Amino acid sequence: MLTVRNLYKSIDGRPVLANVGFALAPGQVAGVIGRNGAGKTTLLRTMAGILDPDAGSVECEGKSIHRYPSVKKDVVFVPDHTESWHGYTAYGSADFYSRIYPGFDMGYFRATLSRFGLPLDRNVRLFSKGMKMMFATTLGLATKARYVLLDEPTNGVDPIAKKQVLSLLMEAAAEGTSLLISSHLLEELERMTDSILLLKDGTVESYTSEDIAGGRFVKLQVAFAGDAPERWLASDDVLVLDHIGRVYTLMLSTEGEGRAYEELRSFDPILIEPLPVKLEDLYLWKLGGGNDVG
């Protein structure tokens, strides 16, 4: 188990993470979502032991990542850029990693690069964007770390490279590797993950697939016979996703006393049609409405 306990972290005097706590179970695939600047990369880098927390702890199988450096062999961070390897060939990078991670599988690394047509002897700096992300993902998985933390692994790559990266990740997950994936590509996360960690204002809220599918929210298409109930539409338990004439697409919270749906029925609308809840709807519900980018 990779466990985050009461984690606090500031960058340049600005609080980024505040009392963050959750656990990543063996074999689990979880996603991290949040606005730009919310602290997703800081969270992953702190979990991997690259950054030190101001308070709190990150524990792998009960041992602190930051107090016991040997534990880091079970956790690897895959960044969204490859500048660190630009002075190395692909093989040189793998040789360096093999000295850090005792379980590094050079055979897997060679075979996977060959599978996708990536040269071992070319400087990583000369790779295309898609090639770089294929290389970085392969390098991270070849460590055979039990917990792999990935920052935007398919950001900016073409559809073919994206499919290749995702297939690698799903193969690793099927073999029991735990994955924590930060991404803005919500449809991908929805297909891949067991749970979602939503990062907002330095704190994390956790949602399972069942929560997103309608356990804690419902999505409805509603048509009102007369004037729309403006007070009700503006309440905290209601989010207007779309509005054309008298027809509204809405999200309603089912948490707390769940009165929003009861109130809706009292308005005697001419149409109430349930719709499937998507991860994008949760994102808009929790993070939308502001004009800032993070």
Q: Give the integer Cα–Cα distance in Å for 46 and 65.
A: 9
In sequence order, the β-bridge partners of residue 198 are 33, 205
Three-state SS for 166? helix
- Nearest alpha-carbon partner for 72 in 147, 181, 154, 177: 147
pLDDT value at residue 270: 93
User: Average pLDDT, stretch 176-198?
Assistant: 92
Residue type at 41 in one-letter notation: T
Superfamily of domain 2-208: P-loop containing nucleotide triphosphate hydrolases (3.40.50.300)
pLDDT value at residue 235: 87
pTM over 0.85: yes
Dihedral (CA of 259, 260, 261, 263) sign: positive
For 59-102, how does the pLDDT look when each residue is reduced to its tens digit (9 = 90+)? 999 999 999 989 999 999 999 888 989 999 999 999 999 999 99
For 239-279, how does the pLDDT look when each residue is reduced to its tens digit (9 = 90+)? 899 999 889 999 888 765 568 888 898 899 999 999 988 88
**Domain ranges for the chain:** 2-208, 216-276
pLDDT value at residue 78: 96
User: Average pLDDT, stretch 133-138?
Assistant: 94
User: What torsion do the CA atoms of 249, 222, 240, 286 make, to the nearest 10 degrees?
Assistant: -80
DSSP string of 204-242? EEEEEHHIIIIISEEEEEEE-SSS--HHHHTSTTEEEEE
**Helical (H) or strand (E) element with 87:** none
The region that residue 6 occupies, defined by phi over 0 for left and psi between -120 and 50 for alpha, beta otherwise, is left
pLDDT value at residue 293: 40
On the question of pLDDT at 291 being above 70, the answer is: no
pLDDT value at residue 214: 58
User: Average pLDDT, stretch 224-228?
Assistant: 87
pLDDT value at residue 53: 94
- Going by CATH, does the domain composed of 216-276 fall within 3.30.450? no
pLDDT value at residue 213: 64
> Roughly what angle, to the nearest 10 degrees, separates helices 129-142 and 159-174?
10
For 108-128, how does the pLDDT look when each residue is reduced to its tens digit (9 = 90+)? 999 999 998 999 999 999 999
Percent pLDDT > 70 in the chain is: 95
Longest dimension (CA), the chain: 71
**Helical (H) or strand (E) element with 37:** none
Three-state SS for 170? helix
pLDDT band at 135 (very low <50, low <70, confident <90, very high): very high
User: Are the CB atoms for 2 and 178 separated by under 8 Å?
Assistant: yes
pLDDT value at residue 256: 53
On the question of pLDDT at 294 being above 50, the answer is: no
On the question of pLDDT at 290 being above 50, the answer is: no
On the question of pLDDT at 22 being above 90, the answer is: yes
pLDDT value at residue 258: 61
